[in-house]
Amino acid sequence: MRNNLFTILLLVLLLAAFILCISGYKNKFEVLDVLSSDIILVDLNHNGVADNDETICVSGVEGFEFEPDMSILSKYQKLFKLNKNDAVGLWYLGREFGRKNLLNKKISLKQVKIKNHKCKEAKILIDGADYGDLLFNSGFGLRNFIAENSGKFGQNLDNARKLNLVVLNHHSNKYHTLDCEYGNMAHDKIIIPFKQLPKGMSPCHFCHSIKDKKHKSNANLISNVTAVSPALKVHSGNIAIYRFDYTKHLKPNSDCNTDVCRLVVDNINRANDSVDIAIYGYDDIPAISTALKNAKQRGVRIRYVYDESSDNKTFYKNNDIIKNLSDVFMGDKHSKEANKIMHNKFIIFDDKSVITGSMNFSPSGLSGYDINDVVVLNSEPIAQLYKEEFEQMLSGKFHNAKFKHNIHNKFIMGNSEIEVYFSPQDKAANRIIELIHNSRHYIYVPTFLITHKGVSDALIQAQKRGIDVKIIIDANSVNTRNTKHKILRDSGIALKAENYAGKLHSKSMIIDDEYIIVGSMNFSNSGENKNDENMLVIKNNLFAKNYKVFFLYLWRIIPDKYLKSAPRAESFNSIGSCSDGVDNNFDGKIDISDDGCKKK
C-alpha cells in the first residue's frame, strides 16, 4: 500500500512540475512576419495585423542585423573577420531560415523580464522545440558573440558571400550597392541577390562603375524577389495541386521551364488513346505544340474546344496550331450568344485523368508570371464526368444550351472529398455561399475579382458573425464593372489589391483548414450563369492548410497601404509592370509608353 501511495505521489509531483514548466507558454500566436532570424512580428491580440507593440526578439540568441551599429559591426570584424556586406548576407540567409521555420505558424511564448527599446524578449516554442536552440545550432544565431562550432557558421558565411546582394529600387528600375546612399533612400527598397534581378534593371551610376562588365552583362536576368514562398506543389493520393508564385516570375516566357508546363507535356507524351482539350484559347508554347504533334503522329486522337466570337475572333492567337492537329474541333461562336464565353481550362487524358484549374494556356499562364491554381485528378469517374461536359460542347452545345449531368458530382479520393460543378447549369455559386455560411473560423479569398452579389453578401455576413475574412484581388479588378471591393471594405472586411505585374488569376477560397474552392469560374454573375466554366470543391485538411500558408505569404508581401487603395496595374507601384513587355491594364500601351510608367 505504501509503495502504491508513493507511486501516486510521485506521479502527482511530476505532473505538477510539468504544468509549472509549461505554464509560462501562454496560448498560441501566429507569426505574421520575420524581420531577421531573431526578430519577428507576432499576432499577440489575434487581430491579423502586426501592431506596434507586437515585435518579439528571441531571448538569449542574437541574429545578424541588416543595419548593425558600429559597435556590433566592430565585434563582427574582430571575432569573425566579417565586413558589413558579410553581415548583411548572413542577415539575409538567417531571415530566410526564420521564415522557413516560423512564418505563418503558431508558436508559444514565454516572456522574460529583459526588455530593450525595439522589442519584447521571449523564449519561443515551435512544434515542441525551443526556436532559440534551433537558431543557435543552425549557425545563424550567436550567444554572447559565440557561434555554434559545428562548421555551419562557416558554411553560412561562404553562402552569404556568394549572394552578391544589391538594393533594388523598383520605382526607378535601378539597383545599388548595399552601402549606396541613393539606394537606401527608398522607403520600400528590396534586398535581392544580383543574379535574381528582374530584366531591365540598370546599375546606379553613383555606386556602380560603368566598366563593371560583370554587372553590365548580367543586368537583364529574369528572376525572383526576395521572399521565400511556401510549397507550391502538394500531393494527396491521386490528387496534386500546383500553384504559381508570381513574385518569382516578373516576365512571361514560352520556355516551358515550370513544373506545370512540364506536367502538361509529360501527360501528353504518355497519352495512348486520347487528349481532349477545352481551354479559353492557346498561345504557342513550343514544347506543348511539339508534344501534341508527336501524339498525333503516334495515333492519339486530339479533340479541341475553345472560345470564339461570332466574327471568328479569339482572345488568343494560336488556336490554329491545335485545330490543325485535332480530329475534331469546335468554337463556341455557334452558340450565337456573343456576351458569353467558353472559359474552361481543362484537359482529359485517355479518359483517365484531368488537369484543370484557373491557368490559361499561354506564356503568362504557364511561365508562372500569373498566379494560378492547377489541379491534377487521376480518377476515371471524374474524367468521365468531364468527358460528358466536353462532348456536349464539342457537339455545339455551349452555355445555357447544355444539360445538367444526371450522374453524381461527388467523389471520394483517398482522404479527399471532391465536388465538381459546371457553369452555367450547376449554379455553382449556391455551393460557395453555403460553404461561407457554414464557416466557423476563417475565409481567405485569393481571387481575380468579386462581382457576385450573393457571394459578397455572404462574406459580409460571415465577417459580422466573427469569421476572419481576408481577400486579395487583382489590381485590375478595382475598376471592373460591378466590383464589390469597396462594399466589402466598407463592411469592415480586410481586402488588399495586389501590386505585382502578373495577374492574381486564381478564383479560389480557403475555409477553416478544411475546404478549398478552385477552378476557372470567377466569382461573378457571368461565371455562374453565362460562361462555360468548371469549379472544384475539395475537402482535404492538407490542401487547405497549405493554401492558407500561401495566402498569408501573399498577404504579408502586399503593403498594408493597399488595404485602402490600389496600385495602377501598369505603374511603378506594380512591381515589374514597367519592364515586362505586357499591356497590364489593357489600354494599348506597354511599359514606358504607359502614363503610369513615365518618370515624373
Query: In CATH, what number is assigned to the domain containing residue 280?
Result: 3.30.870.10
> Within this chain, do residues 145 and 204 fall inside the same structural domain, yes or no?
no
Average pLDDT over residues 250-273: 95
Residue predicted with more confidence, 515 or 591: 515
Helix (H) or strand (E) segment spanning residue 129: strand 129-130
Instruction: Please tell me the predicted confidence (pLDDT) of residue 216.
Output: 37
Average pLDDT over residues 237-264: 93
Sheet holding 442-447, edge to edge: 410-413, 416-423, 533-539, 515-519, 509-511, 442-447, 468-473, 494-497
Average pLDDT over residues 532-540: 98
CATH number at residue 76: 2.40.50.90
What's the pTM? 0.68
Q: How confident is the model at residue 189 (pLDDT cuts 50, 70, 90)?
A: low
Instruction: Please tell me the predicted confidence (pLDDT) of residue 223.
Output: 30
Instruction: Please tell me the predicted confidence (pLDDT) of residue 212.
Output: 44
Average pLDDT over residues 575-589: 91
> Within this chain, do residues 194 and 338 fall inside the same structural domain, yes or no?
no
C-alpha cell recorded at residue 58: 528571441
Spatial distance between the Cα atoms of 398 and 65, rounded to a whole number of angstroms: 59
CA dist list (Å): 317 to 253, 285, 502:
15, 12, 20
> Within this chain, do residues 383 and 255 fall inside the same structural domain, yes or no?
yes
Residue predicted with more confidence, 334 or 19: 334
The answer to whether residue 57 sits within a structural domain is yes
The answer to whether residue 414 sits within a structural domain is yes
Q: How confident is the model at residue 23 (pLDDT cuts 50, 70, 90)?
A: very low
pLDDT tens, position by position, 422-453: 999 999 999 999 999 999 999 999 999 999 99
Q: What range does the domain containing 368 cover?
A: 233-563
Instruction: Please tell me the predicted confidence (pLDDT) of residue 481.
Output: 87
> Within this chain, do residues 350 and 487 fall inside the same structural domain, yes or no?
yes
DSSP of 540-564: -HHHHHHHHHHHHHHHHHS-GGGGT
**Range in 14-28, 105-119, 161-175, 471-485 the model is least confident about:** 14-28
- Provide CB contacts within 8 A for 272, sequence distance 6+: 300, 350
Average pLDDT over residues 374-386: 97
> Within this chain, do residues 597 and 475 fall inside the same structural domain, yes or no?
no
C-alpha cell recorded at residue 181: 546612399
> Within this chain, do residues 139 and 171 fall inside the same structural domain, yes or no?
no
The answer to whether residue 251 sits within a structural domain is yes
Q: Are 407 and 383 in contact (CB under 8 A)?
A: no
Task: Count structural domains, the chain.
Answer: 4
| pLDDT of 513 strictly over 70 | yes
> Within this chain, do residues 465 and 503 fall inside the same structural domain, yes or no?
yes
pLDDT tens, position by position, 60-73: 888 888 777 777 77
- Grouping H, G, I as helix, E, B as strand and the rest as coil, residue 120 is strand
Instruction: Please tell me the predicted confidence (pLDDT) of residue 150.
Output: 57
Closest CA to 191 of 161, 218, 226: 226
The answer to whether residue 453 sits within a structural domain is yes
> Within this chain, do residues 127 and 174 fall inside the same structural domain, yes or no?
no
Cis peptide before 193 (omega within 30 of 0): no
Instruction: Please tell me the predicted confidence (pLDDT) of residue 193.
Output: 82
Closest CA to 96 of 163, 153, 36: 36
> Within this chain, do residues 35 and 64 fall inside the same structural domain, yes or no?
yes
| pLDDT of 24 strictly over 70 | no
Spatial distance between the Cα atoms of 532 and 280, rounded to a whole number of angstroms: 10
The answer to whether residue 211 sits within a structural domain is yes
C-alpha cell recorded at residue 565: 487603395
Q: How confident is the model at residue 13 (pLDDT cuts 50, 70, 90)?
A: low
The answer to whether residue 345 sits within a structural domain is yes
Q: How confident is the model at residue 455 (pLDDT cuts 50, 70, 90)?
A: very high
In one letter, which amino acid is 498?
A: E
Instruction: Please tell me the predicted confidence (pLDDT) of residue 320.
Output: 96
pLDDT tens, position by position, 408-418: 999 999 999 99
The answer to whether residue 264 sits within a structural domain is yes
Burial class (CB in 10 A: 0-12, 13-18, 19+), 184: middle
pLDDT tens, position by position, 125-154: 998 899 989 988 898 888 887 776 557 888
Residue predicted with more confidence, 456 or 143: 456
Average pLDDT over residues 499-506: 96
> Within this chain, do residues 557 and 594 fall inside the same structural domain, yes or no?
no
Instruction: Please tell me the predicted confidence (pLDDT) of residue 27.
Output: 76
The answer to whether residue 377 sits within a structural domain is yes
Tracing cell 461561407 back to the chain, one arrives at 436
> Within this chain, do residues 407 and 504 fall inside the same structural domain, yes or no?
yes
> Within this chain, do residues 69 and 175 fall inside the same structural domain, yes or no?
no
| pLDDT of 342 strictly over 50 | yes
Spatial distance between the Cα atoms of 341 and 331, rounded to a whole number of angstroms: 10
Spatial distance between the Cα atoms of 295 and 302, rounded to a whole number of angstroms: 8
Pairing of strands 274-279, 301-306: parallel
